[in-house]
Amino acid sequence: PKIYTDRDERNLINLCKKDRTKSSAVLANEWELENDRKASASLIRRILYQNKLEYKAAVRKPRLSKEHK
């Protein structure tokens, strides 16, 4: 049986859309605080992938070189 409901799934999607760069472990912790149920990071990734959401990593800015200074 699933440990989450459709409402929990929608809440998770909204959490993810607020900040797309959060890791699945951070999302799992936030989800646990809201729902009082444990969820693994892999479950979070699976739910997001089923809803066509993927992890987005922020692009790092390169450091200034000596030529820039």
Tell me which DSSP letter residue 12 carries.
H
The predicted model scores a pTM of 0.72
Angle, helices 6-18 vs 24-35, to 10°: value is 130
Residues shown for the chain? 69
Q: Which tens digits make up the pLDDT trace of 47-56? A: 989 999 876 6
pLDDT band at 20 (very low <50, low <70, confident <90, very high): confident
Grouping H, G, I as helix, E, B as strand and the rest as coil, residue 52 is coil
